[in-house]
Amino acid sequence: MRVVVQKYGGSSVGTIEKIKQVASSIIKRKEKGDSLVVVVSAMGDTTDELIALAKKITDNPDKRELDALLSTGEMISSSLLAMTLKDLGYDAVSYTAYQIGLKTIGNYGKSLIDDIDGSKIRNSLKEDKIIIVAGFQGVNEEGDITTLGRGGSDTTAVAIAVKLNGICEIYTDVDGIYSVDPRKYSKANKIKEIDYEEMLELASLGAQVMHSRSVELGQKYGVPIYVGLSNSDIKGTVIKEVYNKMNMEGKAVTGLATSDDDVAITIENISYDINVLSNLFEGLASRKINIDMISQTSPINERVNISFTVPKEDLKESMEVVGIYAKKDCISIDEDITKFSMVGIGMKTTSGVAAKMFKLFSKNNIKVKMITTSEIRITCAIKQEDKLKAINIVAEEFNL
């Protein structure tokens, strides 16, 4: 029997009324004969409310305790959903991370799934139960409760699908993945199938539909992931390996994504000593600070200027590390940054995408502050005020 792992996000289970709707769509699926494991996020704004409670105590809550606190949100929604299904006459059971042996490694607040002991889930599936799993949470080697970071329930769902050799369906409040955020570009097209790699670039760049680690996991184990609305006939998007079958003459650019969540740090006149630079970046990495764009001037007198972007939330911690290697008056921060990215596996085979973009930007007076490229994406840092203009001219030009 095929195992279907579904995930319902916080807005889908935001009220008891909505939990009942989710239950009815689970039942519809169950009646088709699938074995069902359902991963849920916390109801609505529960996680934010719990964080607000912790912030009343301190600006810097202990991370172990914060994880223990936040894990309750998903326990509440999962038990309520199981309760609803039982009340409707379906055998359901809710499980926490402890109960299904979802082991994590790494730091509190952004732990990585190490393994899942699938036996409890498998036994319950054999008993024809609908299994409801509290998403977002895990247990580390010390037996402490951990969380997987924002959006971590997606990763919980994909990890379970991997473990059970199932397929994964992520139900959310958007009806699929769009080439451009429809709120910013009304003519945006929905993508029917998107390659893991393209989705990864879009997810990590702020498309905000999927937790990027869940896409990585799907890619690693070849688990296709459906993203769409629940209780709806509108078809969503399937994330899978499309690269091999892709039309080489197809689009160069699949999608656009922008993000205002980063800030650029510039260090002027730092020693061009590979040890200094690698220590700096290792120092940041060891604190799990995600550096995205890096640009560096050519060395003059063995000294260089270097700029890089970090997530806004990590700015304070980043500055502590930077402070070790540079004097205060050599460091500057630019908060007026939008990361603007074009993504497409077609870029591998289509040349001139970057050139076209630069031409468009210069014609429209959009200043590019930094730029990085990978095989399948081009990202520029631009001013926030230029964001909407950039989206519209690029989407128009590349027919997104």
The smaller minimum CB distance to a copy of itself, of residues 1 and 57, is found at: 57
Residues 6+ apart with CB under 8 A from 212: 200, 203, 204
The smaller minimum CB distance to a copy of itself, of residues 120 and 312, is found at: 120
Phi, psi (degrees; rounded to nearest 5) at 293: -90, 140
Least distance to a copy of itself, CB of residue 316, Å: 17
Least distance to a copy of itself, CB of residue 329, Å: 33
Is residue 161 at the binding interface for a copy of itself, with CB under 8 A as the rule? no
Site for a copy of itself in 94-113 (CB under 8 A): 94, 96, 98-99
CA dihedral 377, 381, 387, 390 (to 10 degrees): -50
Residue of 205, 178, 191 whose CA lies nearest to 373: 205
Residue 264 in 3-state DSSP? strand
Whole-angstrom distance between the N-terminal and C-terminal Cα of the chain? 39
Residue of the chain from 27, 29, 45, 86 that contacts a copy of itself (CB under 8 A) = 86
The smaller minimum CB distance to a copy of itself, of residues 9 and 73, is found at: 73
Is residue 41 at the binding interface for a copy of itself, with CB under 8 A as the rule? no
Crossing angle of helices 16-31 and 63-87, in 10° steps, is 60
Residue of the chain from 11, 20, 45, 350 that contacts a copy of itself (CB under 8 A) = 20
Is residue 19 at the binding interface for a copy of itself, with CB under 8 A as the rule? yes
CA dihedral 373, 377, 197, 201 (to 10 degrees): 90
Q: What is 122-165 written as a DSSP string?
A: HHHHHTTPEEEEETTEEE-TTS-EEE--TTHHHHHHHHHHHHHT
The smaller minimum CB distance to a copy of itself, of residues 101 and 311, is found at: 101
Residue of the chain from 35, 41, 47, 84 that contacts a copy of itself (CB under 8 A) = 84
Least distance to a copy of itself, CB of residue 81, Å: 9
Number of shown-chain residues binding a copy of itself (CB under 8 A): 38
Is residue 345 at the binding interface for a copy of itself, with CB under 8 A as the rule? no
Interacting span for a copy of itself (CB under 8 A) from 33-41, 84-92, 106-114, 230-238:
84-92
Is residue 117 at the binding interface for a copy of itself, with CB under 8 A as the rule? no
Alpha helices in the chain (DSSP H): 16-31, 46-57, 63-87, 97-100, 119-126, 152-164, 196-202, 212-221, 274-286, 315-325, 353-363, 387-397
Is residue 64 at the binding interface for a copy of itself, with CB under 8 A as the rule? yes
Largest CA distance in the chain: 77
The smaller minimum CB distance to a copy of itself, of residues 17 and 31, is found at: 17
Is residue 122 at the binding interface for a copy of itself, with CB under 8 A as the rule? no
Residues that bind a copy of itself (CB under 8 A): 16, 19-20, 50, 53-54, 56-58, 60-62, 64-66, 68-69, 71-72, 75-76, 78-80, 82-84, 86-87, 93-94, 96, 98-99, 120, 143-145
